[in-house]
Amino acid sequence: MIALQVDDLGFAYGPRQALQNVSFSTATGRFTALLGPNGAGKSTLIALLTRLYDLQQGDIRVAGYSLRRQPREALRRLGVVFQQSTLDLDLSVEQNLRYHAALHGMPPGLANERIELELERQQLGERRNTMVRELNGGHRRRVEIARALLHRPCLLLLDEASAGLDPASRQALNAHVRALCHDEGMSVLWTTHLLDEVQASDDLIILNRGSLVAQGRADSLSAADESLEQAFARLTRNLAAA
């Protein structure tokens, strides 16, 4: 099954074309990495996926629902962790989760059940009453993941979620999200510009200068005796030279 389908996506800021005829899909239950250097178009794509920007060309479908024709149904099936934190620092972990549940119209009983489950799943039970401003970066990200999963999305989107974390916290967050895929069947789109956050068995999408330059399993995109780093450099260098 397809978790996310992007068809012929194009977007321009005035005369500058940020995305050009981008099409790809991500499979249900898979960890898909969206990779690209700065300026590749990742941020524009995320803004379109989350409807921060309106679609100009093409369409996006989340679990089969079109963002152009059925935006509410599509967004209900999407959970998002943005690069910049959107947690309320002056509320506790649990208060942040309850606020999100209320925004989604969850009855109190259902909200209680799901909050307890996510606190346990994200290993945040002992920090439920801690003010968010007192948490380190890694734990704040876990709160954001818990919040994003409360309404049971089909696809979890993490936009440069490891930005600003120390190496140990970055590695732990990456491993934690992968465990959600493996253990819970979660579909994940993880955007990054860091090659060490990509594993050989991941599905990989590479953007550069607004164009899709490669899609497939990470270990299938490298030529013989070529590392992922070398393949990435080759793919992005070739486009830059075209």
- Distance between CA atoms of residues 218 and 231, nearest Å: 10
Pair (105, 171) in one structural domain: no
Pair (157, 146) in one structural domain: no
Q: What is the pLDDT of residues 107-166, one digit of tens each?
A: 999 999 999 999 998 889 999 999 999 999 989 999 999 999 999 999 999 998 888 888
Domain span at residue 135? 86-152
User: What is the reported pLDDT for 240?
Assistant: 45
Query: What CATH code is carried by the domain that includes residue 186?
Result: 3.40.50.300
Pair (188, 117) in one structural domain: no
Please state, rounded to an integer, the average pLDDT across all residues of the chain. Answer: 91
Q: What is the pLDDT of residues 16-42, one digit of tens each?
A: 999 999 999 999 999 999 998 888 999
User: What is the reported pLDDT for 161?
Assistant: 87
Pair (24, 137) in one structural domain: no
Instruction: Report the pLDDT averaged over residues 58-82.
Output: 95
pLDDT of 238 strictly over 80: no
User: What is the reported pLDDT for 147?
Assistant: 94
Residue 11 dihedral angles phi and psi, to the nearest 5° = -155, 140
Q: Which helix (H) or strand (E) holds 143?
A: helix 137-149
109, 134, 152 - which closes a domain: 152
Query: Could you tell me the pTM of the whole model?
Result: 0.89
Q: What is the pLDDT of residues 159-208, one digit of tens each?
A: 988 888 888 888 888 998 998 888 888 899 999 988 889 999 999 999 99
Burial 21-55 (b: 16+ CB within 10 A, else e): ebebebeeebbbbbbbeeebbbbbbbebbbeeeeb
Find, among 1, 59, 64, 60, the residue nearest to 27 by Cα: 1
Tokens of 166: 């120390």
Which contacts of 84-90 are long-range, i.e. CB under 8 A and separated by 24 or more positions? 85/140, 85/144, 86/144, 87/132, 87/140, 87/143, 87/144, 87/147, 88/132, 89/131, 89/132, 89/133, 90/131, 90/132, 90/133
Pair (126, 141) in one structural domain: yes
Pair (147, 157) in one structural domain: no
Contact 36, 193 (CB under 8 A): yes
User: What is the reported pLDDT for 60?
Assistant: 97
Domains identified in the chain, total number: 2
126, 152, 178 - which closes a domain: 152
Q: To 10 degrees, the CA torsion angle through 64, 70, 71, 72? A: -100
User: What is the reported pLDDT for 242?
Assistant: 40
* For the chain, percent of residues with pLDDT exceeding 90: 69
Instruction: Report the pLDDT averaged over residues 74-83.
Output: 92
Pair (147, 178) in one structural domain: no
Tokens of 86: 């959107």
